[in-house]
Amino acid sequence: MTELVHTPLFGLILTLASYRMAIWIYGKAHSLPVLHPFLVASIPVIVVLPLVGLSYEEYRQQTEILSFLLGPATVALAWPLYRQLRTVRQVWRPVLITTLVGAALAAGISIGLAWWLGAPEPVVGSLAPKSITTPIAVEVVKSTDGFVSLAAGAVAITGIVGALLAGPVFRLLRVRDDRVRGFALGLVAHAIGTARAFEFGEKAGAFAGLALGLTGLVTALALPWLWPWIAGWLF
C-alpha cells in the first residue's frame, strides 16, 4: 500500500483536492485576504506529507507539471497587460515614473531590511522580487541565487499584507482617487492586491492589473543585471 504514495498521481490529487477546497473556502469567505487559497491550500499538504512519509523533494517532483505551467502563465501576462495599456494612455507619464521608482523602492526596502537584520545573501536574494507577481518572481529568484520556496512564500505574504492594509493606509493618507488606489495596490501587492483593488471598482482593478504587469516586467528586466552589483556591495 505505501508504495502508492510514491506515484505522481498521489501528489497531484493531494494538490488539486487541497486547492479545490481552498477555492471553495475563499469563495464562502468573500475573498478575505487572510484566507487566500495560497495559504489555505498549503495546510493539507503540509499535514499529509509527513504523515505518509513523503519528502518535500519527492512531492516537488510529483507536481513538476504544475511548476512547468508557470512558464506559459508568465507569457500569458502579456494579454491583460496589453488590454490595460490601451485604457491608460492619458496618464502614461505618472504611471511610468511610479513604476520605475516604486519597483526600486519595493525591492530596495525589503533587501535593506533583511540585510540590516543579518540575513545571508540567498535569503536576501529570495526577498528582492517579493512585490512582483509569483510566476515572474520564481523565475527572477534564480538569477539572484535565492530559494524558490522562500520567494513564493514572501510574495504571497506581501500580497496578503498589502491587501489587508490598503484600506487603512488609503484612509490615513486621504486617497480617494481610484487610479491611485489601484496602481499602488497592484505595484506593491501584485495579484492579491489586484483582487482587492477590484473591490474599489472596475477602474481601480484595471490600474492594479497594469501596475502588476509593469512592475513585474521592470523588475524582471532590471534585477538580474543589478543583483551581482548589489550583492557584491552588501556581502
Partner 1 sequence: MLDGLLILLLFQFLGEVVIHLTGLPLPAPVVGMVLLLLALMFNLPGGERIAEAAGALIRHISLLIFPLGVGIVLQWSRYQDYALALTVAVVLGTVIALVLVTLLLKWLMPAPPERPHD
User: Could you tell me the smallest distance in angstroms from the CB atom of residue 201 to partner 1?
Assistant: 7
Q: Where are the alpha helices (DSSP H) in the chain?
A: 8-28, 37-52, 56-62, 64-68, 70-76, 78-87, 92-116, 121-127, 134-143, 148-172, 178-197, 202-234
| Rg of the chain, C-alpha, whole Å | 19
Three-state DSSP at 119 gives: coil
- Closer CB to partner 1, residue 3 or residue 21? 21
User: Could you tell me the smallest distance in angstroms from the CB atom of residue 151 to partner 1?
Assistant: 8
- Closer CB to partner 1, residue 1 or residue 174? 174
- Closer CB to partner 1, residue 42 or residue 198? 42
User: Could you tell me the smallest distance in angstroms from the CB atom of residue 48 to partner 1?
Assistant: 10
- Closer CB to partner 1, residue 28 or residue 142? 142
**Whole-number Å distance between alpha carbons of 60 and 138:** 14
Three-state DSSP at 131 gives: coil
Three-state DSSP at 21 gives: helix
If you search the block for the grid coordinates 472596475, which residue do you land on?
202
**Whole-number Å distance between alpha carbons of 90 and 70:** 33
User: Could you tell me the smallest distance in angstroms from the CB atom of residue 3 to partner 1?
Assistant: 21
- Closer CB to partner 1, residue 2 or residue 93? 93
Residues 6 or more apart in contact with residue 230 via CB below 8 angstroms: 111
- Closer CB to partner 1, residue 188 or residue 206? 188
User: Could you tell me the smallest distance in angstroms from the CB atom of residue 173 to partner 1?
Assistant: 6
**Whole-number Å distance between alpha carbons of 134 and 45:** 19
User: Could you tell me the smallest distance in angstroms from the CB atom of residue 57 to partner 1?
Assistant: 9
What DSSP character marks residue 121?
A: H
